[in-house]
Amino acid sequence: MDETTRRRGKEGPSVDEISKIQEKIVEARVPTSAPPFTLKDLKDAVPARCFESSLLTSSLYLFLDLTGVFLLYAAAMWVFYASLPWYAHAVFWPVYWIFQGCVSFGVWIIAHECGHYSFCASKFVCDIVGLVLHTALFVPYHSWRISHAQHHRNTNRMDGDQAFVPNTRTFLKSGNDLEFPNIFWRMLHVVKYLSIGWPAYLFFNARGRPYENYPSRPNHFNPFAPIFSRKDFWDVIVSDIALLVWIGILYYFSANVYSLGWLVCLYVIPLMQVNMWLVIVTYLQHTDVKVPHYSGNEWTWLKGALCTVDRDYGILNYVFHHLTDCHVAHHLFSYMPHYHMAEATEAIKPILGRYYTFDNTPVWKALWNTDSYCRFVEDSGKILWYKFLPEH
């Protein structure tokens, strides 16, 4: 082994560092054998009340979130038109964007619950609330609800999952991306992923399930895309129409009532923050060196559902309605409302044992590590683990 390979310098870790990293990774991996418990065992361990949704309780959480959104918006409107010194604006706007992005992502998560029909017992109410909320956040509600349900049915299944499908060795090699990138390209990749990752998924199925017999990349706005079946046609159309109406409303107010600056400062940039959090949270829930992807008959629904990672976001666990630190329970019981997830998680953890994955690495460090070490999987095999260097 030559010195260049032994000491990769800026291109990546040294051989000794690689060995230590690999040892830690292998030691932390979740079991891949069939779990010694069933879904019924887990459900029986959770109090029955946790599976009950309440329109009143769900509406209260939504009201609190929307109150936060509108209070922040009111403050931003005052500052936008106030004659304040430049440094006051320089301080206020980044703070507003950060806070509004976090609170609005809480609204996004409640809309996501509507898509799981856990907001309340009425599917009609769930669809109306979800359509309004997700449309306001530029999400095609029904279209994404449908593809997200496919993700829940096929979690970490290489030939069936709808989101965060790993790149293969051949795919990276075809783009000359197999070698460990230097720190500049790694940073650029993270920034690109956080800024356009979500729109790229909606419009181009980026990191989504490949459809080999489809002539172009499917998107969430075409009712004829292979993501959808015939029965989904009108749901996709309704989602598209709702977004077109919302675009018209935004255009009217920005062109005739306020201004383009108003639209960008008060809506577009906070929306980009929402999209950033969506990518961070979901990426780290389903991408980790400790959890595998399965193919063929090695995959089962329960094994796939357990290939999710709970993480600690501090106070944001509450702002994000525990989608962050209780995601394992969410994949096991997607119809359970968010306000019961913490209790359910504590109830099932003793049964899950080593099949439960929790990572308390600080979020930004976890994001960097995951992007660095979860680069590709092999082209074939029943149990596929993430790798980060071509020779390992």
Domain count, the chain: 1
* Parent domain of 253: 47-385
| CA 338 – CA 323 distance, rounded (Å) | 7
Residue 213 forms part of a structural domain: yes
Q: In sequence order, what are the beta bridge partners of 192?
A: none
Query: What band does 173 get if pLDDT is binned at 50, 70 and 90?
Result: confident
DSSP symbols for 175-205: TT--SPPPHHHHHHHHHHHHHHHHHHHHHH-
Residue 41 forms part of a structural domain: no
Tens digits of per-residue pLDDT, 140-159?
999 999 999 999 999 999 99
R_g of the chain computed on alpha carbons: 22
**Per-residue exposure over 190-219, b if at least 16 CB sit within 10 Å of its own CB, e if not:** beebbebbbebbbeebbbbbeeeeeeeebb
Residue 258 forms part of a structural domain: yes
Query: What band does 4 get if pLDDT is binned at 50, 70 and 90?
Result: very low
Residue 24 forms part of a structural domain: no
Residue 254 forms part of a structural domain: yes
Query: What band does 211 get if pLDDT is binned at 50, 70 and 90?
Result: confident
Residue 390 forms part of a structural domain: no
Q: Strand, coil or helix: what is 337?
A: coil
What are the structure tokens assigned to 363, written together? 């979020």
On the 0-12 / 13-18 / 19+ scale of CB atoms within 10 A, 56 is exposed
Tens digits of per-residue pLDDT, 20-50?
777 777 777 899 999 999 999 999 999 999 9
* 215: pLDDT strictly greater than 90: no
DSSP symbols for 194-260: HHHHHHHHHHH-TTS---TTSSS---TT-TTSTTS-GGGHHHHHHHHHHHHHHHHHHHHIIIIIS-H
Query: What band does 5 get if pLDDT is binned at 50, 70 and 90?
Result: very low
Residue 26 forms part of a structural domain: no
